[in-house]
Amino acid sequence: MAMDFVGKTLLDTTRAIEQSVFQLDLSSEDGFLQGLDPRAKVICFLLLLLLTAFSKGLWMMFSTYLLTVALAMASRIPLGFFIKRVWLFIPLFTGLIALPALFNIVTPGDSIWTLVVFNSPISFGPFEFPAYLAITQQGLTTAAMLILRVAVSVSLAILLVLTTRWMDLLRALSILKVPQVVILVTAMTYRYIHLFLRNLENMLLARKSRQFAPSAMKDQHGWISSRLGALVAKSYHLSTEVHLAMVSRGWSGTPKGLEQFHFKAKDAVSVAVAFILFSSEILFDKIY
């Protein structure tokens, strides 16, 4: 039986909570990436993300993917989990999106596999289609490039997040000149997301446990609107209480951060290696 909106939302909510708990476990492991200064790690990953974005060839992207796998192994991230998390997501979204690009109607080029031959070219309103449907060499390269680029980018983002405690990651953003107040708002938001996810979970379970027959869509929309409306009211009251609690503890509106990071030799080496890799990609592209 297809899952209804309550079941689907419950599943998403549980996944989000599970994900952040698992993230916390891995970021406390004693691995290579966990040992780097979060600021160095943010710079390294940005350089590697840019390298991936600028890559014009499949081999370069594949090499970067192998690097992410090696980094995951060195950081004690279960390899099966790491690979699955990327490759379960990619075929579902990017794979489906990349699929039409394989064919000559989207990417014209040298046919490698003709699937259907029509009597004549087909015109559909303003659109003109060729007399045959085929997978092209160029289409295959285009789809592979898109899938691999997304996979490497997602792998890099996952590695960064899995190996860094979220508060450290947010504080490291100050190196990118993100204002302190934004970092503070983001950190508080992250904390309250968990509270709201629990609230949402309870609302959904309460509905599921009282429902014994499918309801009309109008009722479902009414229920969702009323729950979100109740959450708006809760958000407003909660923000007033949190504000008063903050003021009573000396909050004046200006955040003050505690600097606890230590930039070590291995951090400098990591940044240098990432920079050399990025520069060689840019240089390589210019030469060829």
Partner 1 sequence: MHIPDGYLSPQTCVIMYTACIPFWVMSGRRLRRKLNSRLVPLLSIFSAFSFVVMMFNIPVPGGTTTHAIGSVLMAILLGPWAAVTGISVALLIQALFFGDGGILSFGANAFNMAVVMPFAGYYVYRFLNLTRPKTPVRQALNAAVAGYVGINAAAFVTAIELGVQPLFFKALDGTPLYCPYGLAQTIPAMLFAHLTVGGIAEAVVTGGVLLFLRRSMPEIIVDLKIEAVA
Interface positions, 214-233, toward partner 1 (CB under 8 A)? 217, 220-222, 224-226, 228-233
Residue 79 CA to residue 162 CA, distance in Å, equals 13
Closer CB to partner 1, residue 114 or residue 235?
Answer: 235
Is 24 an interacting residue with respect to partner 1 (CB under 8 A)? no
Our finding on whether 99 is near partner 1 (CB under 8 A) is no
A 10 A CB-CB count for 126 gives 5
Q: Does 253 bind partner 1 (CB under 8 A)?
A: yes
| Under rule CB under 8 A, residue 235 binds partner 1 | yes
The answer to whether 172 contacts partner 1 (rule: CB under 8 A) is: no
Task: For residues 91 and 208, give the distance between their C-alpha atoms in angstroms, rounded to a whole number.
Answer: 31
* 106 makes contact with partner 1 (CB under 8 A): yes
Window 255 to 284, contacts with partner 1 (CB under 8 A): 255
Of 79 and 282, the one with the shorter C-beta distance to partner 1 is 282
For 37, the token pair is 């200064």
Q: Site map for partner 1, 115-134, x if CB under 8 A? A: ------------x-------
Kindly tell me which of 115 and 176 has the beta carbon lying closer to partner 1: 176
- Within 13 A of 200's CA, how many CA atoms are on the CB side? 25
- Contacts of residue 103, Cβ cutoff 8 Å, sequence gap at least 6: 115, 133, 134, 135, 136, 139
Outline where DSSP puts E strands in 54-198.
Answer: 111-117, 122-124, 127-129, 132-136
By CB under 8 A, residue 141 contacts partner 1: yes
DSSP 8-state class, residue 63: H
Helix (H) or strand (E) holding 135: strand 132-136
Segment interacting with partner 1, rule: CB under 8 A, options 26-34, 74-82, 186-194, 256-264: 186-194
